[in-house]
């Protein structure tokens, strides 16, 4: 299950659960997602990361890269410099209701922090194929699982930087 924060054209904010992101997309396309306050079917996802349902007493930990973390040997084409200071990013992440802890790592990948934390669930964005997700082998070897969340168009750092560059 996935929970989205939604907003209607009258700016009413609400949340709703869906089986997965494809189920939301299908229902939204058919006009079946509507605002519980005013009934408007003009609904879109609010600017927020989706939250997965917790079925246990798990402790969600977010591990962003440190500002001075070394660049990967083969950076992704979309990789750009971080545009917000590490402290601010950590503070924003820690303020999310769905996050219990933030651990910043300085290595070029999250493999070491994943090895030390030993999570039961590793959640990553869909910018890489499953077989290239760092730490996947560590989590799955212990019987854990990897959850891949769809990327929201227009909200990646690369997209934001591109929009800034195109402002004239």
Given a cut of 50, whether residue 10 has pLDDT beyond it is yes
- The number of folded domains in the chain is 2
Q: What is the DSSP string of 93-138?
A: HHHSTT-SEE--B-SSSSHHHHHHH--SEEEEETTS-GGG-TTHHH
Give the domain CATH number at 72: 3.40.50
Name the nearest CA neighbour of 50 among 123, 129, 133.
Answer: 123
- The verdict on residue 24 lying in a domain is yes
Statement to judge: residues 86 and 121 lie in one domain = yes
Phi (first) and psi of residue 68, to 5 degrees = -90, 15
Given a cut of 60, whether residue 40 has pLDDT beyond it is yes
- How far is the C-alpha of 12 from the C-alpha of 142, rounded, in Å? 43
| Average pLDDT estimate for 87-95 | 74
Long-range Cβ pairs for the range 95-103 (8 Å, 24+): 96/49, 97/51, 98/49, 98/51, 98/52, 98/60, 99/60, 99/61, 99/62, 100/59, 100/60, 100/61, 101/59, 101/60, 101/61, 101/62, 102/61, 102/62, 102/63, 102/64, 103/61, 103/62, 103/63
Percent of the chain at pLDDT above 90? Answer: 11
Phi (first) and psi of residue 29, to 5 degrees = -65, -35
Statement to judge: residues 117 and 144 lie in one domain = yes
Given a cut of 70, whether residue 127 has pLDDT beyond it is yes
- The verdict on residue 93 lying in a domain is yes
Statement to judge: residues 123 and 74 lie in one domain = yes
Statement to judge: residues 36 and 76 lie in one domain = no
Statement to judge: residues 10 and 81 lie in one domain = no
- The verdict on residue 168 lying in a domain is no
Statement to judge: residues 100 and 34 lie in one domain = no
Statement to judge: residues 22 and 58 lie in one domain = no
Residues constituting the chain: 168
The pLDDT assigned to 65 comes to: 67
Q: Which domain holds residue 76?
A: 54-163
Tokens linked to 151: 């990327």
- The verdict on residue 154 lying in a domain is yes
166 contacts: CB under 8 Å, gap ≥ 6:
none
The pLDDT assigned to 74 comes to: 45
Statement to judge: residues 122 and 76 lie in one domain = yes
Statement to judge: residues 60 and 43 lie in one domain = no
Statement to judge: residues 68 and 83 lie in one domain = yes
- The verdict on residue 25 lying in a domain is yes
């Amino acid at each position: 299950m996935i929970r989205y924060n939604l907003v209607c054209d009258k700016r009413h904010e609400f949340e709703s659960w869906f089986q997965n992101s494809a189920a939301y997309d299908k229902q939204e396309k058919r006009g079946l997602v509507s605002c519980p306050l005013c009934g408007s079917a003009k609904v879109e996802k609010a600017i927020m990361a989706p939250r997965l349902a917790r079925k246990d007493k798990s402790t969600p930990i977010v591990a962003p890269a440190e500002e001075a973390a070394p660049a990967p040997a083969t950076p992704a084409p979309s990789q750009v410099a971080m545009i917000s200071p590490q402290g601010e990013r950590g503070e924003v992440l820690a303020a999310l209701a769905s996050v219990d802890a933030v651990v910043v790592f300085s290595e070029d990948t999250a493999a070491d922090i994943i090895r030390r934390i030993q999570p039961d669930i590793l959640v990553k964005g869909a910018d890489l194929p499953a077989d290239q997700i760092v730490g996947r082998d560590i989590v799955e070897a212990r019987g854990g699982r990897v959850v891949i969340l769809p990327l929201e168009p227009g909200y990646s750092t690369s997209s934001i930087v591109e929009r800034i560059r195109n402002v004239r």
